[in-house]
Amino acid sequence: MRSQRPAQALRRGLLALAATAALLPSAFAQSPIVIKFSHVVATDTPKGKAAEFFAKRAAELTKGKVKVEVYPNSQLYKDKEEMEALQLGSVQMLAPSLSKFAPLGVKEFEAFDLPFIFDDYNDLHAVTQGPVGAKLLKKLESRGITGLAYWDNGFKVMSANKPLKAVEDYKGVKMRIQSSKVLDAQMRAVGALPQVLAFSETYQALQTGVVDGTENPPSNLYTQKMHEVQKHLSITNHGYLGYAVVVNKKFWDGLPADVRAALNKAMAESTKVANDVAFQDNQDALAKVKAAGKTTIYQPTLGERFLLKKAMFPVHKQMSSRIGEETINEIYKVTNFDPTKM
Ligand code: LMR
């Protein structure tokens, strides 16, 4: 029966393989599944708090099948590196600011950086909680990234070591910005000299005079102690800073369906936490900056704010071919903004 030997050998081989496979845990059979969630801000910020809440709810709703490890304050990665780490699968979850997605090639996200595009959170939510926001998140998939939610932070203030009241005051001031061409154009529109720096490098750059000033929502400014090295702050509310919570697509698609459903629920609850605390946190941070007594806080007059808007508004047109006119027009539409009235 020599002819049966190869068949027997093959069968024996297959059985051995099956036995080994049964012993090998599938990628997610080991417990718990670990999600490394890296971010660059302090724990005591809207993003930091929402990330902690997500970790807690993810554990509860998956009954311990998932463990979310949150790494705040650029502990693991700085801005640029964290995006790379996500794509490589070294971390599974991030919540970068919307200004940081264009370097991936998804330039439409820079629409969120356009100065004075949103009057308030209502305008913003009309975008982030509607079809325009969903469409933008979908664009990340071709980069191996799945967008799960938008989390609020808030409207930005300008700070520097000199008062920034009139448009002319910005002339020649070196301003740290995030890696966004729209923010670059916005600063140039008022004669400032923008410089891209990682968030984690900003405090030191301000302290050593590498840059003179920056823009951020008060919660970021205060929790990074930037007010200790900035003598002046103007409540310009000229632009918005918020986040997209993103996961590595391959990791996410590979999760068991029940785990993914539980995580989606945890994410929906965390989004509510982020958005509920954002406004108040920024108000509180401003009050704390004031109480610290190192920074003069200036509230621009309506006239000064109007002139700032007038100076910065041409950036919408200037950047429209980069961002995509379609995206900008969709945002104008849902926020009932008429650019011809500018
Ligand atoms: C910044 O770099 O200023 C912000 O994007 C930091 C953050 O994540 O809020």
Q: What is the distance between the alpha carbons of residues 295 and 156, in angstroms, rounded to a whole number?
A: 16
Q: What is the distance between the alpha carbons of residues 203 and 229, in angstroms, rounded to a whole number?
A: 8
pLDDT at residue 327 tops 60: yes
94 within 8 A of 302, measured Cβ to Cβ: no
101 within 8 A of 242, measured Cβ to Cβ: no
Question: Cβ(220) to ligand 1 under 6 A?
Answer: yes
**Pocket test residue of 47, 74, 97, 240 for ligand 1, highest count of atoms within 8 A of CB:** 97
- Minimal CA–CA distance to 59: which of 94, 34, 42, 39? 34
What is the arithmetic mean of pLDDT over 231-244?
A: 98
At the top level of CATH, the class of 32-341 is alpha beta
What is the arithmetic mean of pLDDT over 17-46?
A: 73
What is the arithmetic mean of pLDDT over 18-39?
A: 66
How many CB atoms neighbour CB 44 within 10 A?
14
Q: Residue 95 CA: which ligand 1 atom is closest?
A: 8
109 within 8 A of 70, measured Cβ to Cβ: no
Q: What is the distance between the alpha carbons of residues 43 and 73, in angstroms, rounded to a whole number?
A: 8
pLDDT at residue 26 tops 90: no
**121 — pLDDT class (breaks 50, 70, 90):** very high
What's the Rg (C-alpha) of the chain?
24
Query: What's the pLDDT score for residue 28?
Result: 59
**27 — pLDDT class (breaks 50, 70, 90):** low
C-alpha 199 to ligand 1 mean position (Å): 6
What is the arithmetic mean of pLDDT over 109-128?
A: 97
**247 — pLDDT class (breaks 50, 70, 90):** very high
126 Cβ contact list (under 8 Å, min separation 6): 334, 335
Residue located via tokens 């923008």: 194
Domain residue ranges of the chain, discontinuous segments joined by +: 32-341
Question: Cβ(216) to ligand 1 under 6 A?
Answer: yes
pLDDT at residue 303 tops 80: yes
Q: Which residue has the least CA distance to atom 3 on ligand 1?
A: 199
pLDDT at residue 181 tops 70: yes
Per-residue pLDDT reduced to its tens digit, 34-54: 999 999 999 999 999 999 999
- Respond yes or no on whether the N-terminal peptide bond of residue 32 is cis (omega within 30° of 0): yes
**7 — pLDDT class (breaks 50, 70, 90):** very low
pLDDT at residue 60 tops 50: yes
Instruction: Name the region of 118 (left: φ>0; alpha: ψ -120 to 50; beta: rest).
Output: beta
> Residue 270: CA atoms inside 13 Å, Cβ hemisphere, count?
29
Question: Cβ(74) to ligand 1 under 6 A?
Answer: no
Q: What is the distance between the alpha carbons of residues 329 and 67, in angstroms, rounded to a whole number?
A: 41
**21 — pLDDT class (breaks 50, 70, 90):** very low
pTM of the model: 0.91
Averaged confidence pLDDT in the chain: 93
Query: What's the pLDDT score for residue 15?
Result: 37
260 Cβ contact list (under 8 Å, min separation 6): 252
Query: What's the pLDDT score for residue 29?
Result: 58
* Whole-Å CA distances, 131 to 134, 292, 333: 5, 42, 12
- DSSP 8-state code for residue 97: B
Residue located via tokens 């990682």: 198
Say how many residues make up the chain: 342
Q: What is the distance between the alpha carbons of residues 288 and 293, in angstroms, rounded to a whole number?
A: 9
> What single string gives the DSSP state of each residue in 27-55?
TTTSSSEEEEEE-SS-TTSHHHHHHHHHH
177 within 8 A of 215, measured Cβ to Cβ: yes
What is the arithmetic mean of pLDDT over 302-314?
A: 97
**24 — pLDDT class (breaks 50, 70, 90):** very low
pLDDT at residue 16 tops 50: no
Per-residue pLDDT reduced to its tens digit, 123-163: 999 999 999 999 999 999 999 999 999 999 999 999 999 99
pLDDT at residue 335 tops 70: yes
C-alpha 291 to ligand 1 mean position (Å): 23
pLDDT at residue 234 tops 60: yes
C-alpha 269 to ligand 1 mean position (Å): 22
Query: What's the pLDDT score for residue 134?
Result: 98
142 within 8 A of 203, measured Cβ to Cβ: no
**342 — pLDDT class (breaks 50, 70, 90):** confident
Q: What are phi and psi of 78, to 5 degrees?
A: -85, 180
Among the residue ranges 20-24, 42-46, 123-127, 330-334, the one predicted with the least confidence is 20-24
**3 — pLDDT class (breaks 50, 70, 90):** very low
Query: What's the pLDDT score for residue 31?
Result: 82
- Minimal CA–CA distance to 181: which of 91, 102, 298? 102
**Pocket test residue of 39, 178, 186 for ligand 1, highest count of atoms within 8 A of CB:** 178
**20 — pLDDT class (breaks 50, 70, 90):** very low
